[in-house]
Amino acid sequence: MRCWQLFRQGFLATLALAWLGAAQAQPQFDDFLGGLDAQLGWSWQVAGNTPTNSHDPARVGFDTDALRITAQAGTLYQNPNNIRNLPSLSVPALRGAWVIETRVRLQRNGLSGAYLQAGVVLFRDADNYFNLHLVYLPDQNNRLSVSGGHEQGGVYQWAGLSGLMWDATSGDTARLMIRYEPDTGRVRFFYDREDGAHWREMDGSPKMLSDYLSLQAVALNSGQIGLYVDTAGGSGTPAPVATFDYLLILSDYHPADVNQDGIVDDADLLSVLFNFGVQRCNHPADVNRDGIVDDADLLSVLFAFGQR
C-alpha cells in the first residue's frame, strides 16, 4: 500500500511541476563546506594548459566554508598557458537570464609589483577565455579594483571594464557578478566591495555578448566555469592567497536535466536512482527541490526524457 501511495504522491507532484512549466532556473552552487561538492563534478583540467591537470594539492585547502588557493607561478595569459590550481565546473549552453557570481578575498602578502588578480573565468581552453577579477594595481600604489579581460585564439585584450579603486586596508574582498539579459543580448558586470553600497555596475558595462567571443562561445555552446588566482609573473614570500566563499551558476536548464549536460537522458535517470532517499537541500537529483530524492524526481525525469 505504501508503495502505491508514494507512486501516487510522486505522480501528482510531477503533474504539478508540468503545470508550473517545463523549465525553471536551476542553480549550480557550492559554498565549499570543508571541500568541493563531489556531486557537482569539479575538475582541475584545463585544455591547452601545461600541465593539463592544474591541481597542486599542497596549494589548495579549505577553511570552514571557503576554498583557499595559495598562488604560485603560472598564468593563462597568451603563450605561457601554465596556470595552476584552477577548479572548474562543466556547463552546457547557458539559457535564459543566466547569472554567475562569486565572492573572493585576495591577500597580496609579499608579492612584488604585479597585477595580482583572482576571480571567475569562463573558458573553452587555455587560449580562449573570459575573466572577471579583483586585482591589485602596481601602477596605483597597489590599490585594489575590479576588471576583466578576454583571450581569443591566444590573443589577450582588456575587456574595457573597471571599477572604483580603494586601499586594501579598507577591505580586500569583493563579490563579482556576470548577468545576461536575453531580451537585449547584453551582458552586465557588477561588483560589491562590501562597503555598504552593495552592487555597483562596472564602468564599461553593459556590453553585447558578441563583444567577447570567448564568453559567447561558452554561453552558446558549453564550456567550463572556474575560479583562479594569477600572479601575472610576480613573486615574493609569503605567497598571495585567494579565498573563495562560493560559486553560483544560475541558468534555465530543464529541471530534470540533473547533470546539466543539455539533455534529459539515462545519466539523469541513473543519478536519481543512485541518490534515491538522499535528503539534502539543493541536491542536483532533487528535481522538484522538496529536500528529498524520491518518486517525484524519478517521474519528472521519465516524463521529460529526451527533452533539452
My answer on whether 196 and 301 are in the same domain is no
Is 19 within the bounds of a domain? no
Tell me: do 139 and 246 sit in the same domain. Answer: yes
* Together in a domain, 78 and 92: yes
Residue 143 located in a structural domain: yes
Point out the domain boundary residue: 218, 236, 251: 251
Burial 292-305 (b: 16+ CB within 10 A, else e): bbbbbbbbbbebbe
CATH of the domain at 218: 2.60.120.200
As a whole number of angstroms, the distance between CA 97 and CA 24 comes to 11
Separation CA 12–CA 194 (nearest Å) = 44
Question: What pLDDT shows up at residue 16?
Answer: 39
Instruction: For residue 250, report the phi and psi dihedrals to the nearest 5 degrees.
Output: -120, 120
Mean pLDDT value of segment 285-297: 89
**DSSP state for residue 116 in the 8-state scheme:** -
Sheet holding 88-91, edge to edge: 88-91, 223-230, 117-125, 128-137, 143-152, 155-162
Q: Work out the mean pLDDT of the chain and round it to a whole number.
A: 89
Largest CA distance in the chain: 73
Given pLDDT bands bounded at 50, 70 and 90, which one contains residue 289? Answer: confident
Domain C-terminal end among 203, 230, 251: 251
15 within domain boundaries = no
Residues 130 and 269 in one domain: no
> At 185, is the secondary structure helix, strand, or coil?
coil
d(CA 45, CA 283): 24
Question: At 274, which CATH number?
Answer: 1.10.1330.10
The whole-number pLDDT of residue 25 equals: 58
C-alpha cell at position 204: 564599461
Structural domain contains residue 10: no
99 and 205 within one domain: yes
Same domain, 216 and 236: yes
What's the CA gap between 191 and 168, in Å, rounded? 16
Per-residue model confidence as pLDDT tens digits over 209-234: 999 999 999 999 999 999 999 998 88
What are the two backbone dihedrals, phi and then psi, of residue 139, each rounded to the nearest 5 degrees? -85, 0
pTM score: 0.80
239 with 261, same domain: the answer is no
Number of other CB atoms surrounding residue 158 within 10 Å: 11
Percent of the chain, pLDDT > 70? 91
The residue among 221, 222, 308, 220 whose CA lies nearest residue 265 is: 308
**Angstrom distance (rounded) from CA 182 to CA 167:** 36
If one counts the domains in the chain, the total is: 2
* Count of beta carbons in the 10 Å neighbourhood of residue 242: 24
pLDDT cut 90: percent of the chain above it: 74
Q: Evaluate if residue 248 carries a pLDDT over 70.
A: yes
14: in domain? no
- Whether residue 295 sits in one domain with residue 217: no
Supply φ then ψ for residue 285, to 5 degrees. -85, -5
| Of 251, 266, 286, the domain-final residue | 251
Q: What is the DSSP letter of 205?
A: -
Q: Phi and psi dihedrals of 118, rounded to 5? A: -155, 140
pLDDT tens readout for residues 184-198: 999 999 999 999 999
Closest CA to 102 of 160, 28, 26, 152: 28
Q: Is residue 267 included in any domain, yes or no?
A: yes
CA-CA distance, 156 to 144, in Å (whole number)?
21
In this structure, are 112 and 68 located in the same domain?
Answer: yes
User: What domain range is 203 assigned to?
Assistant: 26-251
Instruction: Please check whether residue 7 lies inside any domain of the structure.
Output: no
Prior bond of 206 cis (ω within 30°): yes
109 and 211 assigned to the same domain: yes
Task: Tell me: do 157 and 275 sit in the same domain.
Answer: no
In a domain? residue 100: yes
Do 227 and 264 share a structural domain?
A: no
pLDDT at res. 19: 36
